[in-house]
Amino acid sequence: MSLEQLLVGGLAALLFFWALGAHNRVVALRNAIGAAWLQVDAALQLRAEAIAALISALRLHLPQDQATLDAVLVAQTRVQSAAEALRARPTDAGHARALLQADASLAEVLADLSALLDAHAALRDDEALAARLAAWHDTGPRLAFARQLFNDAARVYNDAARQFPTRLLSRLFGFAPAGEL
């Protein structure tokens, strides 16, 4: 073998191993998004259970406000549907946007529910209802923390996939940008 052939072979091996390392790094970062999604998903499930229990208890106390309670359940169902879609593919930016929109709708009707609870302040004295309210409020910080972990993982992945020369491999291996929550 000539020196030129050895240099070309060495350069080809170097490029191959660089591409392999870059691919493995981006795959590991994409997998970190999936792991972070598990925490978001668990927090969403806890919130869904807390909301369902709260609405069930409020149905007995607020028979005249069933429309507001139904609106909360409908919005929660939309969040669960969006979460189900994102569960299948946590890096999909479109599914992440759909979850954000569904969660924004839920936040609006939950604000209406909070106003309704403020209007009926005597309900907060009921121990069973107070426990359900506390369970619902406790899910907020956990969900915020899980979302922050997810967003951090998505940013690191997106940054790695956009950096040169890894960007050259992103299209080749289908590393699409991940969405944030």
pLDDT of 126-158, one tens digit each? 888 989 999 999 999 999 999 999 999 999 999
- pTM, 2 dp: 0.89
Which residue ranges form the domains of the chain, and what is each CATH number? 23-173 (1.20.1440.20)
pLDDT of 56-85, one tens digit each? 999 988 889 999 999 999 999 999 999 999
Q: Inter-axis angle of helices 127-162 and 166-173, to 10 degrees?
A: 110
Q: Do residues 160 and 26 lie in contact, with contact meaning Cβ atoms separated by under 8 Å?
A: yes
Q: Where are the alpha helices (DSSP H) in 62-123?
A: 66-88, 93-119
Q: Quickly count helices (H) and strands (E) in the chain.
A: 5, 0
Six-digit token string for 94: 């479109």
